[in-house]
């Protein structure tokens, strides 16, 4: 096994501190007897820092997505209420149209009855005038007095 302080397998404290993103005193505490920080320790710290950084990014993303989810849920609730209101309005308008249609049909039937009554009145007027004409000629009297 190689010595961890060997130059190829270790880094100076300043460089190790820069790579790990820590102050030099913290990097110095990791240094071996030769004043060098073992490369394996730098790798472990950088990996841990990367994981911590990724975890922080993931938490930010979760927070952002959670906020968006709340907005979407609020929008969804608002849209569902609008749909419910629109459905009620449509139902009300449909009922109103059906009532208007029934009233129009009733009006049409009444107008047909009025026309029929007018025809009957005309027929009756014609019959009365025919009877009057015959009466004035004396024909009815002769027919009835046989």
Residue 40 — φ and ψ, nearest 5°?
Answer: -60, -40
pTM across the whole model: 0.45
- Can you tell me the distance from the alpha carbon of 68 to that of 107, in angstroms, rounded to the nearest whole number? 57
Query: Cβ-count burial of 26 within 10 angstroms (0-12 exposed, 13-18 middle, 19+ buried)?
Result: middle
Give the start-to-end residue ranges of the domains of the chain: 7-144
Residue 46 has pLDDT above 50, yes or no: yes
10 Å Cβ neighbour count for 24?
13
pLDDT at 141: 67
The partner residues of 10 in beta bridges, in order of sequence, read: 38
Greater confidence, 41 or 110? 110
**What would the DSSP string read from start to end of 52-87?**
HHHHHHHHHHHHHHHHHHHHHHHHHHHHHHHHHHHH
Determine what percent of the chain is predicted with pLDDT higher than 70.
Answer: 90
CA–CA distance from 21 to each of 34, 47, 83 (Å)? 22, 12, 55
């Amino acid at each position: 096994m190689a010595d961890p302080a060997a130059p190829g397998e270790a880094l100076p404290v300043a460089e190790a501190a820069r790579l790990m993103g820590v102050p030099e005193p913290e990097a110095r505490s990791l240094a071996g007897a030769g004043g060098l920080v073992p490369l394996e320790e730098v790798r472990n710290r950088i990996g841990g820092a990367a994981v911590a950084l990724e975890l922080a990014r993931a938490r930010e993303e979760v927070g952002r997505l959670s906020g968006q989810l709340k907005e979407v849920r609020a929008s969804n609730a608002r849209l569902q209420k609008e749909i419910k209101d629109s459905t009620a309005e449509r139902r009300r308008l449909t009922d109103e149209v059906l009532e208007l249609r029934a009233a129009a049909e009733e009006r049409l039937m009444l107008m047909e009855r009025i026309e029929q009554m007018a025809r009957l009145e005309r027929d009756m007027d014609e019959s009365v005038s025919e009877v009057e004409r015959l009466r004035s000629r004396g024909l009815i009297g002769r027919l009835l007095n046989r």
